[in-house]
Chains A and B, each alone.
Chain A
């Protein structure tokens, strides 16, 4: 499969702090998506981001295809942001990274 590396593996924040999650991939691709996985397991699509910068509320995704990287920025983190964030690259089918487990503490 295609190589997708995410960093950091885990991250602990105090409520209100910002987070920067990274995703690097080893091949050119069609597009990529960021997902949030709830503790129960279900996946929620956070961003579908072929390239450039997208913002939704406190979340911002920046993808630079040429440099084979994408980042997810979470500003003013909240306890409810806790969970696992996964990036996936689309190379005719989605290939997932191993995720970043985010814990936001009060």
Chain B
């Protein structure tokens, strides 16, 4: 079956530092990877959509300068949270598409900023 691994599961970083998280698709090739953030008491916010062979599209309020994404091949994507502050804390999830319309999710990376 389709499996999506995210690493690390949990991380703590100091305010003003950066943190990189990874998303790995196992058993299938990811034609698209979408990164989401679920802040405390909030729903899932779409950060950006990365489609192979297309430019990464960022949603309003999220920028490449703050959340640079790398999608080097069909099974791997990474995103960095640069200069993290308190408002960046939350659960970061990657959703992986296969060209159909069903999307598979990893278990997320929970970011705490201290």
Residues on B with C-beta less than 8 A from A96 are 36, 43-44
Q: Which of the residues A1, A31, A41 comes within 8 Å of B102, measured between beta carbons?
A: A31
CB under 8 Å from chain B, chain A span 73-106: 86, 88, 90, 92-99
Asked whether, in the complex, the Cβ of B34 is within 8 Å of the Cβ of A43, the reply is no
How many angstroms between the C-alpha atoms of A84 and B110 in the bound complex? 17
Q: Which of the residues B43, B97, B108 comes within 8 Å of A42, measured between beta carbons?
A: B108
B74 at the interface (CB under 8 A from A): no
How many angstroms between the C-alpha atoms of A98 and B43 in the bound complex? 5
How many angstroms between the C-alpha atoms of A90 and B32 in the bound complex? 13
Task: Please tell me the number of chain B residues within 8 Å of chain A, measured between CB atoms.
Answer: 23
Asked whether, in the complex, the Cβ of A42 is within 8 Å of the Cβ of B49, the reply is no
Asked whether, in the complex, the Cβ of B46 is within 8 Å of the Cβ of A30, the reply is no
Asked whether, in the complex, the Cβ of B46 is within 8 Å of the Cβ of A93, the reply is yes
Asked whether, in the complex, the Cβ of B46 is within 8 Å of the Cβ of A45, the reply is no
How many angstroms between the C-alpha atoms of A20 and B73 in the bound complex? 41
Residues on A with C-beta less than 8 A from B110 are 41
